[in-house]
Amino acid sequence: MPFPLELKYIEIAEDQFGLKFPEKYKSKMQQENSGEFRVTFSETTNDDEIEPWWLFPFQNSSEIKRIKRTMNHLVHENQSIQDMSDFPANSVAIAFNDCGDYLLLCSVDEIHLEEKIYLWRHEYSESVYLLANSINVFIPIES
């Protein structure tokens, strides 16, 4: 179940990664720290071609209930994901599906991750595909 998140928890993760997350992504995660969305990879809307994806939450240590809900937090999950031999360098996995694939934010320089969302399929691990220009394509951010 998604829940609001204080900016300080995102900043803790930024310190741990040594990278700054893009503003639209931070805004979405502050509203709902996690979430599920669906992505279609074709022009048709055949239900077989719509994939569910889940965002990794940021760790939230504000209370026991939120600690439990964020056990699979972004930093923890990326520690094992980034150990994969073919995982793209200078990227952070922000979402996963049930097939072992990830949606990524990639760095534009030594400090900043860009807004664009990339797809990394574990079967075709040498390739990363641009999927969207921001998280807003999948999950609109409320004003």
Q: Does residue 33 contact residue 58 with C-beta atoms inside 8 Å?
A: yes
Convert the pLDDT of each residue in 99-141 to its tens digit: 999 999 999 999 999 999 999 998 877 788 999 999 988 765 5
Contacts of 103 (CB under 8 A, 6+ apart): 53, 93, 94, 95, 96, 117, 118, 119, 120, 131
- State the DSSP H helix or E strand holding residue 55, giving kind and residue range, or none if neither: strand 50-55
Tokens of 61: 């240590």
End-to-end CA distance of the chain: 21
- Structure confidence by residue, pLDDT tens digits, 7-24: 999 999 999 999 999 999
Give pLDDT tens digits for 48-66.
Answer: 678 899 999 999 999 899 9
Q: Tell me what percent of the residues of the chain surpass a pLDDT of 70.
A: 90
Using a 10 angstrom Cβ sphere, with 0-12 exposed, 13-18 middle and 19 or more buried, the burial of residue 68 is exposed
The structure's pTM equals 0.88
Number of H helices, E strands in the chain: 4, 6
Q: Which residues does 64 contact at the CB level (< 8 Å), separation at least 6? A: none
pLDDT score at 131? 92
| 104-109: long-range pairs with CB below 8 Å, 24+ | 104/128, 105/21, 105/22, 105/25, 107/19
